[in-house]
Amino acid sequence: MAKVIGKAAATEKIPTTIDEFFFWTDKEKILHPFDVVKAKHINDSVTFGVIEEISHITDAPSYLTSYISSDFGDVSHIANTQRIGLNFVKARVVGNTKNIYTPVLDGSEVSLGDEKEVQKALGLDDVKKPLACGYIEMYEAEDRVRLPVFLNSDFLLGPEGAHLNISGISGLAAKTSYCMFLIKAVQQRYLQKDIKPDQGIAFVLFNVKARDLLAIDEPNEDLDEEDKKLYDELLRLNDQPFENVTYFYPYDPGDYSNTYAYKQDVDYQIDVNKAFKYKYVYEHDKNSLELLFSNTYDPTDTMDSIINYIITEQDQFGDIRNWRDFMSEVDTYCQKQSGKDPTITPASWRKFKRILRKPLSNSVFAHGVDDKRNETRLRDHIADNIKKNDIYVIDIAKLDEDIQNFVFGDVVNTIYEMKLGQTGEREPEEVPQKIVIFVDELNKYASSEVPKSSPILKQIIDITERGRSLGIILFSAEQFKSAIHDRVKGNCSTHAYGRVNAIELSKGDYKYIPSVYKGMMTRLEQGKYIIQNPVLRSLLNIKFPNPVYKQFKHG
Amino acid sequence: MNEILRFIADLTGGTYYKSFRYCFEGVEVPTVAYDDNRIITMSQDKIGETNKSLKTSKSVADLSEKIMKDGKPLFRFFLDGSRRTYKIDDIAYGDRIYPIIAGQIGVGCCERSEPDSFKPSVLGMQIVLTLPDCADKDSKKDPFFNSLAQKINNLEVLKKRGISFQKVLSYTDRVLKEGEKYEHKGIAKIQDEMVENEKSMVVQLVREKKLNLQSYLLKDGSLEYKKIKGAHYKELSAIKSNYQCVVGVSKTFNPELFKDKRKKNLARRIADLPLFHRTPAFRYTNERAPDVEFSIWYLRVREISKTVSPFDGVLKVEKILVTDEEQENGLESDEIDYISANLLNERHPTCYGLDGRWANHLYPVYLTEKYIKSNYLSEVQFLNLF
């Protein structure tokens, strides 16, 4: 037994139970929430607990006692004897070495664990299909323990459990960095020997913030030795930037008005054939028009009727080849008594036109695609080319929100259809077995306030509910988890919480989190996360090193 | 059930009654006949200190502040004794019925080496039983009761629980005077045993050389023990030297019993004692220990406006006059000041809200008392032994 730091205490009012026990310790002993402790238990077994709360108590029954003890409020008073006091710690039971789950007995010795014991306590020992998810640190000074956290990848990427949701306030939570860290780990995991040739994985990432993900194949020059050591030695990952990356920028006529990336960077990437500009062409993409209406309230389904009218190529719509003609045609329906289909009123057509006018004026909605200039249609490119170990980064940061919705919805549809074998002529084995989709600001697409008829919301719910079996894994992030649709977050097996503000913590999503952990969540530093996964016996407070790819300090 | 009682009744030829059992401390108990200060004989020269000119009172506030800033506290050890008594049953011997009183006695000493280090130093716990003298039919006295204790301890019911009786004591079965009860005599016997244990603990501390001029022992309660006897206390000088570094501090006292040389009652003077002042020291002897002289003085540690009665916040301090010089001239006035100033520095923290006697309690003594009491068997457990 290691150095004893205290003894379990079971009192009349606060008994120890199957779930938790309490112990006292010296008031100067430094412990932290999430630290693992072990208590001697019956039959020579050991019960492990994770610290949930630390309180300091004295024998003073009220503040008045303290006031009087300071010579009736004399702040300079110093006493010969300090009031008797101790720290009182609440620990949640996470396991017993002999599976004996009777309450820890009063007076049982409590001590800190060593590396192996901490691993065992948290269920981090003997992990099959290990996937690095960060590392944990606990205890102080000579007792300090630093451990990598490996999770069974089956519980993050399927088939046992799938989908990851990361929440945390903007900037301080480093949501994108953590997600990219996991993607790095997943990519490397799938390069290991035990992975069969047909078990490939590919990634489709959406860049939603400035140039965040537009240089992930370039090294982070600020990565220090400490971080490199963490990658190489502790987490068994290499510290190199991502490989097999392809960037997709929204098309523009040469003024780079649709991206935050610098012209020279985009040009260079196009020159070396690792970037494309994507376009939407009327002839092929009119079927996705409904995606532009995903945030439109349409209780009478009139917009839906119009879209149907167009998709089924009624009247003149079958003859149209470009967006300009399309808008002209819509114009004619907007005229009163035009003699067109009387079931849809001109007022509805005018609403339809009003919604479409702005997005369709963006150059990404173009007449045609020129392959020689590295222009492409995302749908075709993904369906025809994506292969295992590929990372596709789709830049939507500078697009208007309705076009972002359109692009996101179109890509997700494409992947879904591809996995169902409905697109292209590729052999099933050529398609990566799993595709991870990462999208930040999930609230734009799957907020609880998005109209129920939204095709994107339906698609996301479908992915979270059925994607696991199809091999489509959603890595999502948002500021406020409480704003996300229940069926979406409810289907995520892994949740990561970065720094969260107090208002958000008062919502129902955080009810199950102990109050001390909630307090910690409002103070979490950058690079620290609290994660929850079905294989973990308790929430874990993990850290991860700085990203391996180029960081743009000013966006 | 009743195994012990049946055994005692069989062995002593009595009849037991399975009476209601209870703890005396849980019900109102009349004052024990052995309370401190019952009889005080003032010495002829009644001044108990070297400075004979001090007439009224003296402030020790400045000295206390000086010690607080520059010095180390004088008191390092704190001793207290406590007992809990229980009416176990009634037993009939002949035509009379006597109570069987059991008790738990705890005497402990704690050490404060640093302000934040308060640790137990010595602890003595005892479980005793008292029976009337007539339980010993052959009048063998101690040998009879010692052997009875041994036999009781061999009972399975005690062995199983790992509990044993250290002593079986006897109380007098003389005819009771008006207002007397056998219960009180039994309790008094247990109280005497506790006092004996306290004395032994002081001797132990002296033997272990823990007490010296920088490390005094503060004993809760009076030092006026009853007539000293027994193997350890043959030499009076030895007894005295044991108490060279021991100060007794009483929380409660009866000021009516104390008069100055003009036979004037001191109660008013004690009640009017200004904050942080001490009275002059008086010298007295006690009929229970006629050869031992004490120096005694009072010290106010709490402001009168913040307490409920004028005697709250006043401590009665005692020290045995050890050396010939002390016996001749009284205790050195500087030492009295020094002890008083150190006691003043012990006034905080307080046990306000925890103990009704908080104004007169000193926190380290309070902690020692708590420590001892925390080692008692619970009432339910104890009463169900029988």
Residues of A in contact with B118 (CB under 8 A): 81-82, 84
The minimum CA-CA distance between B58 and chain A, rounded to whole Å, is 21
Judged by a CB distance cut-off of 8 A, whether residue B174 touches chain A is: no
* Whole-number pLDDT of residue A468: 87
What six digits make up the tokens of A490?
Answer: 């409810």
What six digits make up the tokens of A440?
Answer: 């930040």
Whole-number Cα distances in Å, A538 to A122, A464, A518: 7, 24, 14
* Whole-number pLDDT of residue A424: 66
- Is the pLDDT at A195 greater than 80, yes or no? no
Tell me the C-alpha distance between A550 and A215, whole Å: 6
The Cβ of residue A401 has, within 10 Å, a number of other Cβ atoms equal to 12
Does ipTM surpass 0.90 in this model?
no
Judged by a CB distance cut-off of 8 A, whether residue B312 touches chain A is: no
Residue pointed to by tokens 């003859």: A319
**Are B348 and A82 a contacting pair at CB < 8 A?**
no
Tell me the C-alpha distance between A231 and A147, whole Å: 12
**Are B349 and A78 a contacting pair at CB < 8 A?**
no
* Whole-number pLDDT of residue A338: 57
Sequence letter at residue B375: N
Q: How confident is residue A161, by pLDDT bands cut at 50, 70 and 90?
A: confident
B368 in Cβ contact with B220 (< 8 Å): yes
Q: How confident is residue B40, by pLDDT bands cut at 50, 70 and 90?
A: low
pLDDT in tens, B156-179: 989 988 999 999 999 988 888 888
* Whole-number pLDDT of residue B276: 95
Query: How far out from the chain centre does Cα A180 lie?
Result: 10
* Whole-number pLDDT of residue A301: 86
Sorted by sequence, the CB contacts under 8 Å of residue A326 that are 6+ apart come out as A282, A286, A310, A317, A320, A360
Judged by a CB distance cut-off of 8 A, whether residue B111 touches chain A is: no
Domain ranges of chain B: 1-30+81-208, 34-74+214-347
Residue pointed to by tokens 């996101």: A408
Cis peptide before A159 (omega within 30 of 0): yes
The minimum CA-CA distance between A21 and chain B, rounded to whole Å, is 22
Judged by a CB distance cut-off of 8 A, whether residue B370 touches chain A is: yes
Judged by a CB distance cut-off of 8 A, whether residue B356 touches chain A is: no
**Are B348 and A71 a contacting pair at CB < 8 A?**
yes
Domains and CATH numbers, chain A: 4-122 (no CATH), 149-279+369-543 (3.40.50.300), 283-360 (no CATH)
Q: Would you say the C-alpha torsion B359, B362, B366, B367 has a positive or negative sign?
A: positive
More confident: A176 or A422: A176
* Whole-number pLDDT of residue B29: 44
- Is the pLDDT at A268 greater than 80, yes or no? yes
Q: Which of A65, A71, A78 sits opposite B352 (nearest CB)?
A: A65
Burial class (CB in 10 A: 0-12, 13-18, 19+), A452: exposed
User: Of B226, B219, B251, B247, nearest to B80 (Cα)?
Assistant: B219
Three-state SS letters, chain B: CCHHHHHHHHHHCCEECCCCCEEHHHCCCCCCCCCCCCCEEEEEEEECECCCCCCCCEECHHHHHHHHHHCCCCEEEEEEEEEEEEEEEEEEECCEEEEEEEEEEEEEEEEEEECCEEEEEEEEEEEEEEEEHHHCCCCCCHHHHHHHHHHHHCCHHHHHHCCCCCEEEEECCCCCCCCCCHHHHHHHHHHHHHHHHHHHHHHHHHHCCCCECCEEEEEECCCCCCCCCCHHHCCHHHHHHHCCCEEEEECCCCHHHCECCCCCECHHHHHCCCCCEECCCEEEEECCEEEEEEEEEEEECCCHHHCCCCCCCEEEEEEECCCHHHHHHCECHHHHHHHHHHHHHCCCCCCCCCCCCCCCCCHHHHHHHHHHHHCCCCHHHHHCCC
* Whole-number pLDDT of residue B31: 42
Residues of A in contact with B116 (CB under 8 A): 82
Query: How far out from the chain centre does Cα B194 lie?
Result: 7
User: Of A90, A175, A160, nearest to A127 (Cα)?
Assistant: A160
* Whole-number pLDDT of residue B43: 55
A364 in Cβ contact with A264 (< 8 Å): no
User: Of B287, B303, B282, B325, nearest to B49 (Cα)?
Assistant: B282
**Are A81 and B370 a contacting pair at CB < 8 A?**
no
Between A13-17, A145-149, A334-338, B301-305, the lowest mean confidence (pLDDT) is in A334-338
Indicate the pairing of strand A36-41 with strand A109-112.
antiparallel
Residue pointed to by tokens 């010993």: B136
User: Is the pTM of the predicted complex or chain greater than 0.90?
Assistant: no
**Are B363 and A83 a contacting pair at CB < 8 A?**
yes
More confident: A301 or A196: A301
Among chain B residues, CA nearest to A71? B348
The minimum CA-CA distance between A80 and chain B, rounded to whole Å, is 5
Range 55-84 of B in CB contact (< 8 A) with A: 68, 73, 75
Tell me the C-alpha distance between A121 and B70, whole Å: 51
What six digits make up the tokens of A405?
Answer: 């919705």
* Whole-number pLDDT of residue B30: 41
Q: How many residues does chain A have?
A: 555
